[in-house]
Amino acid sequence: MDLKQLQYFIAVTEQMNFSKAAEKLHISQPSLSNAIKKLEQEIGSPLLKRNTRNLQLTEAGELLYERAKVILKNMEVLKIEMDEVIVHGTSEVTIGVMESIKHWLPKVIANYKRDYPQMMIHLVDILGSKRVKKSLKSYKTHVIITNQRMDDDELEVQSLYEERLVAVLPLNHPLAEKDRLTFADLCNEPFIISTEGFQTRLDILSAFEQANVKMNIQYEIERFETAVSLVRENLGITILSENYLQGPTAKTIVQKEIDGPNLRRNVYLISLKNRHLPLAIRHLLANIVEFFEP
């Protein structure tokens, strides 16, 4: 039994048709049929029930199909990891990021580059919990920095820090004169909020619910940048991470604290538990964690 035989068997099982499977594999149907027969002979048991209408898996076929998928997936992962160690281990790393880390991550990278000056660092926007999981599990990213709460046994989650969420208003907004705001101050304002699937949205909705105050949601966005642009045009107000609002952005809007204990969020460093990461990449992860240690 070899990997090619398993690949052929999986194709036949998923197509349940020798002709379609052969076409997908770019081989002749007789060659595919012979390969499956040889596999059955080696195993000593039929894997498929054949009749004039369709194919069905035998019990042995069902077992082999489930195990073969795992074997081929592990081989794909091994190829990626070996390639990283041998070819790209000290040359490339891909980090999934969110918008609010823009003021501290460059400092970490600057220090890291002193030890690994040749490392190519790819920074890609990964927003929303589904995208976080998909990106890590498909080996598209080595690590992701996010505020998304992950409850997944396959993922390694390290808490980095906690940050406040603050109200963001246009410069000339009447509420800009107040020192602090309440949820009641915000309830009638046209509100800009993240779309479904974003942890910040859940945190804000939960805080308003606990305060027993309804929101007047008028806009849904994916990026903080879009929310700030809408605020600048006096189209509404929003609540964002105060870390995102540092730098030039702070001069174009007004940010105010909101009375209430629930408007904070955690930021996490997330990676795939069983993925082998080259030493150079592990050093980068350690540098990120150490940046926030007292």
**What are the structural domains, with CATH classification, of the chain?**
3-87 (1.10.10.10), 88-160+273-291 (3.40.190.10), 164-266 (3.40.190.10)
Strand 190-194 relative to strand 237-241: parallel, antiparallel, unpaired? parallel
Contact of 91 with 119, CB cutoff 8 Å? yes
**Residue 41, SS3 per DSSP:** helix
Report how far residue 256's alpha carbon sits from residue 240's, in angstroms, rounded to the nearest whole number: 10
Q: Nearest Cα to 178, choosing from 260, 256, 259?
A: 256
Structure tokens at 116: 């690994």
pLDDT (0 to 100) of residue 86 = 60
Structure tokens at 251: 């001069």
Give the CB-side neighbour count of residue 153, counting CA atoms within 13 A: 0
pLDDT (0 to 100) of residue 84 = 64
pLDDT (0 to 100) of residue 251 = 85
What are the residues whose beta carbons fall under 8 Å from the beta carbon of 121, sequence distance 6 or more? Answer: 92, 93, 95, 109
Contact of 169 with 240, CB cutoff 8 Å? no
pLDDT in single tens digits along all 294 residues of the chain = 788 888 888 998 988 888 888 888 889 988 888 889 888 898 888 999 887 677 889 899 899 999 988 888 878 777 776 766 665 455 789 999 998 898 899 999 999 999 888 888 999 998 888 899 999 999 899 999 999 888 899 999 999 999 999 999 999 999 999 999 999 999 999 999 999 888 889 999 999 999 999 999 999 998 999 999 999 999 999 999 998 998 888 888 999 999 876 788 899 999 999 888 888 888 999 999 999 987
pLDDT (0 to 100) of residue 185 = 93
Q: Tell me how crowded residue 202 is: count the other CB atoms within 10 A of its CB.
A: 16
Structure tokens at 125: 């926007």
pLDDT (0 to 100) of residue 183 = 92
Give the pTM.
Answer: 0.69
Say how far residue 36 (Cα) sits from the centre of its chain.
38
Structure tokens at 276: 């082998």
pLDDT (0 to 100) of residue 89 = 52
